[in-house]
């Protein structure tokens, strides 16, 4: 199929038809797999309504994000299982299996009954399907990246593997386009009621196309030569993680490369999308169009930085992306507020909300283990904070004397909360309804908007800021596949590179939206969640700069 040889150093330096076929076939299959995986994240707000309807609105959305994150949580286990298979039986058949698992589990999400139909079984089954998706993706990326890199000529690995790097963003872009198309064709009401299932059902067609494409691929030439010479690893897990010589590289790759890359990736795309829709109350169609446009503008950066990494190295580009993100996240996200919802910014400045409460009266309004909705936040502090969270009103916390009933001050107006626990059910409902009405009236009077006004929005500036975030993504993600491939020997490459990649992206990155929004719920500060990606990106910058080597000139045939 390809004119490449097993030796990357001796392979042709031009992009042959064989190379193009490998890149296109691997990339298309991976695009479809990312499309499947990211549909859930793009539809988290809608899914929260159907599968976590018994929880308060803020908690329901965080629970939907937690289910989204469940798919990321199991990705390292998929990396171990499929990485081992990939190093023992081959790259091609392993990532053929992963795409079948991904496609079927995504299709089943599209036919899954909701909480209203089958109760607690609905979110449980949803989590199971997300975990199957995560297992599949855990085996997918390492196989595709390794397969392409092992076909690439010396001095071109950054460029060749950068096409694989575009697939995650293109998959997200494709999922956004399909969702937007369904929303436009069906209308928001029909889409929210049942039309959200269509993008999941479409995945079955993509599955058939992906399997057909990958059946036409041959095995990696390096793996074929290694197999012919009898040099395959008999125990890839032991060789990868049971020896300090390779194990320390795995740890350095995790903390000095993939952890920071992951948080920049998810902050720049998913967290930005959720921040726009949930915090700034930009309508879903407009927010998705902004993200899609930013992705379209900046996606070429993956190829650019992959190519550049062949010239100046992988390390300086990735480290620069992590540092720039850490330095500029606060001003960029504050800029999004300023340009996307100036009324929210003005209201917070002129009529800030302050919750005065006994700290012992305040709960962390996030219940990851509670799917039944039986936990109710009834303390006076929790009741009033839930009202503010539901309207995305930022607030600060003020310590009150022990036993004091909580209150909220919005501008000059002070509203006393209620102690629901001391009232009968009828009295509690009446008191909460009155409190809700009083808080809503104060919020409206202070100018806090129920949603962002598209006419007041500075659309070019919003697009510019989102595009900058995606450019950071391309800096850290474009060269990462080549860097990881070059850090490990052929006989254990699939296993060794997959685990740090999927721990970094599955745990550090995948949990970013959930962690960030949980921090916002905890503090009331809409920007507080940014501390998470900033700290992780700075950690990676320091460890990667001082402890990881540059690899662009490494011979990967050994």
Whether residue 266 is found in the same domain as residue 375 = no
Query: pLDDT tens, 146-161?
Result: 878 877 888 889 998 9
CATH number at residue 495: 1.20.1250.20
Does residue 16 form part of some domain?
yes
pLDDT score at 491: 82
Query: Does the pLDDT value for residue 15 go beyond 70?
Result: no
Does residue 556 form part of some domain?
no
Whether residue 387 is found in the same domain as residue 518 = no
Burial class (CB in 10 A: 0-12, 13-18, 19+), 245: exposed
pLDDT score at 100: 86
More confident position, 169 or 409: 409
Shortest CA distance to 71 belongs to which of 123, 138, 122, 120? 138
Cα R_g (the chain), whole angstroms = 25
pLDDT score at 370: 33
- Name the domain count of the chain: 2
Query: pLDDT tens, 18-39?
Result: 556 667 767 776 787 678 767 8
Query: Does the pLDDT value for residue 372 go beyond 90?
Result: no
CA angle 324, 328, 331 (to 5 degrees): 170
Does residue 354 form part of some domain?
yes
Burial class (CB in 10 A: 0-12, 13-18, 19+), 463: middle
Query: pLDDT tens, 513-529?
Result: 878 888 888 889 999 99
DSSP 507: I
Whether residue 393 is found in the same domain as residue 463 = no
From 398, 429, 446, the end of a domain falls on: 446
C-alpha 504 chain-centroid distance? 11
More confident position, 217 or 360: 360
Query: pLDDT tens, 457-474?
Result: 999 999 999 999 999 999
pLDDT score at 471: 97
pTM of the model as a whole: 0.82
Query: Phi, psi at residue 408, to the nearest 5°?
Result: -125, 135
Does residue 2 form part of some domain?
no
Burial class (CB in 10 A: 0-12, 13-18, 19+), 252: middle
pLDDT score at 57: 58
The DSSP code sequence of 113-126 is: --HHHHTTHHHHHH
Confidence of residue 549 (pLDDT cuts 50, 70, 90): very high
Q: What is the phi-psi region of residue 532: left when phi exceeds 0, alpha when psi lies from -120 to 50, beta otherwise?
A: alpha
Query: Does the pLDDT value for residue 179 go beyond 70?
Result: yes
Query: Does the pLDDT value for residue 77 go beyond 90?
Result: no
The DSSP code sequence of 267-317 is: IIIIIHHHIIIIIS---HHHHHHHHHHHHHHHTHHHHHHHHHHHHH-HHHH
Range of the domain at 369: 349-446
Query: Does the pLDDT value for residue 453 go beyond 90?
Result: yes
Rounded to whole angstroms, the Cα distance separating 84 from 91 reads 10
Confidence of residue 438 (pLDDT cuts 50, 70, 90): very high
Whether residue 321 is found in the same domain as residue 205 = yes
More confident position, 364 or 289: 289
Q: Are strands 353-357 and 395-399 parallel, antiparallel or unpaired?
A: parallel
Rounded to whole angstroms, the Cα distance separating 126 from 109 reads 7
At 22, is the secondary structure helix, strand, or coil?
helix
pLDDT score at 233: 67
pLDDT score at 10: 41
What tokens does 467 get? 């595009």
Counting other chains too, the contacts that 215-218 makes at CB distance below 8 Å and 24 or more residues apart are: 215/96, 216/25, 217/1, 217/22, 217/25, 217/26, 217/92, 217/147, 218/1, 218/2, 218/92
DSSP 456: T
Does residue 398 form part of some domain?
yes
At 466, is the secondary structure helix, strand, or coil?
helix
Shortest CA distance to 261 belongs to which of 540, 60, 483? 540
Flag the least confident range among 158-162, 206-210, 330-334, 484-488. Answer: 206-210
C-alpha 473 chain-centroid distance? 12
At 323, is the secondary structure helix, strand, or coil?
helix
Whether residue 300 is found in the same domain as residue 321 = yes
pLDDT score at 127: 84
Whether residue 87 is found in the same domain as residue 168 = yes
C-alpha 502 chain-centroid distance? 12
40, 130 contact by CB (below 8 A): yes
pLDDT score at 321: 98
499, 80 contact by CB (below 8 A): yes
Q: What is the phi-psi region of residue 524: left when phi exceeds 0, alpha when psi lies from -120 to 50, beta otherwise?
A: left
The 3-state DSSP composition of the chain as helix, strand, coil percent (nearest 5) reads 75, 5, 25
Query: pLDDT tens, 136-146?
Result: 888 777 777 88
DSSP 397: E
Query: Looking at residues 500-516, what average pLDDT do you find?
Result: 86
Query: Does the pLDDT value for residue 278 go beyond 70?
Result: yes
Percentage of the chain exceeding pLDDT 90: 39
Whether residue 277 is found in the same domain as residue 369 = no
pLDDT score at 221: 64
Percentage of the chain exceeding pLDDT 70: 86
Rounded to whole angstroms, the Cα distance separating 258 from 263 reads 9
Whether residue 43 is found in the same domain as residue 23 = yes
Could you count the other beta carbons within 10 Å of the beta carbon of residue 465?
23
Whether residue 385 is found in the same domain as residue 260 = no
Does residue 554 form part of some domain?
no
Whether residue 421 is found in the same domain as residue 358 = yes
pLDDT score at 505: 84
Strand ranges of the sheet holding 413-416, from the earlier edge strand across to the other edge: 395-399, 353-357, 407-410, 413-416
Does residue 476 form part of some domain?
yes
> What is the overall mean pLDDT for the chain?
84
Query: Does the pLDDT value for residue 271 go beyond 50?
Result: yes
From 446, 471, 503, the end of a domain falls on: 446
Query: Does the pLDDT value for residue 6 go beyond 90?
Result: no
Query: Does the pLDDT value for residue 533 go beyond 80?
Result: yes
Rounded to whole angstroms, the Cα distance separating 182 from 87 reads 41
Flag the least confident range among 220-234, 333-347, 350-364. Answer: 220-234
More confident position, 53 or 99: 99
Query: pLDDT tens, 55-71?
Result: 555 566 667 767 767 77
At 47, is the secondary structure helix, strand, or coil?
helix
CATH number at residue 391: 3.40.30
Query: Does the pLDDT value for residue 172 go beyond 60?
Result: yes
Shortest CA distance to 283 belongs to which of 436, 455, 56, 527? 455
DSSP 353: E
pLDDT score at 3: 36
From 419, 446, 473, the end of a domain falls on: 446
Rounded to whole angstroms, the Cα distance separating 427 from 418 reads 11
Rounded to whole angstroms, the Cα distance separating 381 from 362 reads 5
Does residue 532 form part of some domain?
yes
Shortest CA distance to 472 belongs to which of 271, 331, 339, 320? 320
Query: Looking at residues 119-134, what average pLDDT do you find?
Result: 85
Query: Looking at residues 195-208, what average pLDDT do you find?
Result: 88
Whether residue 207 is found in the same domain as residue 260 = yes
Whether residue 424 is found in the same domain as residue 476 = no
In sequence order, which residues have a C-beta less than 8 Å from that of residue 329 and are 6 or more positions away?
A: 267, 530, 533, 534
Query: pLDDT tens, 426-435?
Result: 888 898 899 9
């Amino acid at each position: 199929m390809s004119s490449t040889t097993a030796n990357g150093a001796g392979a042709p330096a031009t992009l042959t038809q064989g190379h193009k076929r490998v890149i296109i076939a691997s990339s298309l299959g991976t695009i479809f797999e990312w499309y499947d995986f990211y549909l859930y994240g793009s539809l988290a707000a809608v899914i929260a309504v159907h599968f976590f309807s018994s929880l308060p609105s803020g908690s329901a959305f965080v629970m939907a994000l937690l289910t989204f994150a469940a798919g990321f949580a199991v990705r390292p286990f998929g990396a171990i299982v499929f990485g081992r298979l990939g190093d023992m039986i081959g790259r091609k058949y392993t990532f053929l299996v992963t795409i079948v698992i991904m496609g079927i589990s995504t299709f089943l999400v599209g036919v899954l009954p909701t909480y209203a139909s089958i109760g607690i079984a609905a979110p449980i089954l949803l989590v199971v399907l997300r975990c199957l998706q995560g297992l599949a993706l855990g085996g997918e990326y390492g196989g595709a990246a390794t397969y392409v890199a092992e076909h690439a000529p010396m001095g071109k690995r950054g460029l060749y593997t950068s096409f694989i790097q575009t697939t995650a963003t293109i998959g997200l872009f494709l999922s956004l386009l399909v969702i937007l198309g369904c929303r436009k064709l069906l209308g928001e009401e029909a889409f929210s009621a049942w039309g959200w299932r269509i993008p999941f059902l479409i995945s079955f067609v993509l599955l058939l196309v992906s399997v057909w494409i990958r059946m036409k691929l041959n095995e990696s030439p390096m793996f074929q030569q290694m197999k012919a010479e009898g040099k395959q690893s008999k125990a890839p897990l032991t060789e990868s993680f049971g020896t300090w010589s390779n194990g320390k590289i795995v740890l350095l790759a995790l903390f000095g490369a993939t952890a920071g890359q992951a948080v920049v990736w998810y902050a720049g795309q998913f967290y930005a999308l959720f921040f726009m829709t949930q915090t700034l109350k930009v309508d879903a169609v407009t927010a998705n169009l902004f993200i899609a446009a930013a992705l379209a503008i900046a996606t070429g950066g993956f190829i650019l930085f992959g190519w550049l990494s062949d010239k100046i190295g992988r390390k300086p580009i990735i480290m620069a992306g992590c540092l720039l993100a850490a330095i500029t996240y606060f001003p960029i996200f504050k800029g999004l507020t300023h340009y996307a919802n100036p009324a929210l910014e003005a209201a917070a400045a002129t009529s800030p909300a302050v919750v005065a409460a006994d700290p012992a009266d305040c709960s962390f309004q996030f219940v990851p283990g509670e799917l039944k909705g039986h936990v109710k936040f009834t303390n006076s502090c929790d009741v009033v904070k839930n009202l503010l969270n539901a309207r995305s009103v930022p607030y600060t916390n003020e310590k009150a004397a022990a036993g004091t009933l909580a209150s909220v001050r919005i501008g000059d107006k002070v509203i006393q909360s209620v102690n629901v626990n001391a009232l009968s059910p009828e009295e509690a409902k009446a008191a909460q309804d009155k409190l809700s009405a009083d808080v809503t009236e104060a919020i409206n009077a202070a100018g806090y908007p129920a949603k962002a006004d598209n006419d007041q929005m500075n659309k070019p500036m919003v697009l510019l800021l989102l595009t900058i975030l995606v450019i950071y993504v391309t800096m850290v993600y474009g060269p990462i596949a080549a860097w990881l491939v070059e850090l490990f020997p052929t006989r254990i490459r699939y296993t060794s590179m997959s685990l740090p990649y999927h721990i970094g992206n599955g745990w550090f990155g995948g949990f970013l939206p959930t962690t960030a929004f949980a921090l916002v719920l905890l503090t009331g500060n809409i920007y507080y969640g940014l501390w998470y990606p900033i700290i992780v990106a700075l950690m990676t910058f320091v460890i990667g700069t001082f402890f990881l080597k540059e690899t662009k000139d490494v011979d990967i045939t050994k």
